[in-house]
Amino acid sequence: MDIKSAEYKTSANALKDCPMQEMPEYAFIGRSNVGKSSLINMLVQKKELARTSNTPGKTISMNFFLVNDDWYIVDLPGYGYARRSKVLRAEWEKTLLAYLQKREMMVCLFVLIDSRIEPQKSDLDFITFLGEKAIPFCIVFTKLDKIKPTESEANIDNFCNKLMESWEELPTIFKTSSLDKTGREELLKYIAKLNKEFAKIQKIKNIQLR
């Protein structure tokens, strides 16, 4: 897939504030400082589309980016950031659940995992939650360029083994680096495939409504 355009459209703090549109959305989420903004910028080849920061928890709203005028990237606030107040965390968790379960345009959630570290309970718990709620998702391991390949592979294998303790089958997995663009082509091909499937479903729905 060629990226011809990518632009920020709007932000939302609640499901009711999300844009009224009929295009497929692909949401990105992960623990704070997992490299989410860098990955989004790498995918669309715009260095400053999504804000990057050394301060964890920078994203505090759902940010919508229109790509190629026919699909959206949704940058979701990171989870597991302890310095946020309990009230703020609770409000965000409620908003996140509403978005993931009720937003019909949300085709797939990409869950970002830092390949530099060992499996984290917050990541494993969040993925378990997605499975329990039957929310479609993929796992995207980030920052492969930050450590030796043998170390990242060991961490990824360890994470997958942890998942297999409770999962019968692993979700689709991508391995990425925002620096050298590893995984970019694979991610965009996957999104292009889902775009086609989304278009077919919408066509069927439109015929049924006639």
Q: Where are the domains of the chain?
A: 6-209
Q: What is the pTM of this model?
A: 0.91
Record the tokens describing residue 95, joined without a space. 């908003």
8 Å CB contact between 65 and 189: no
Task: Work out the pLDDT band at 80, boundaries 50, 70, 90.
Answer: low
Confidence (pLDDT) at 116: 95
Phi–psi pair at 9, nearest 5 degrees: -110, -50
Confidence (pLDDT) at 20: 93
The CATH architecture to which 6-209 belongs is: 3-Layer(aba) Sandwich (3.40)
196 to 6, 8, 75, 113, 190: CA distances (angstroms) = 19, 23, 22, 27, 10
Record the tokens describing residue 103, joined without a space. 């937003």
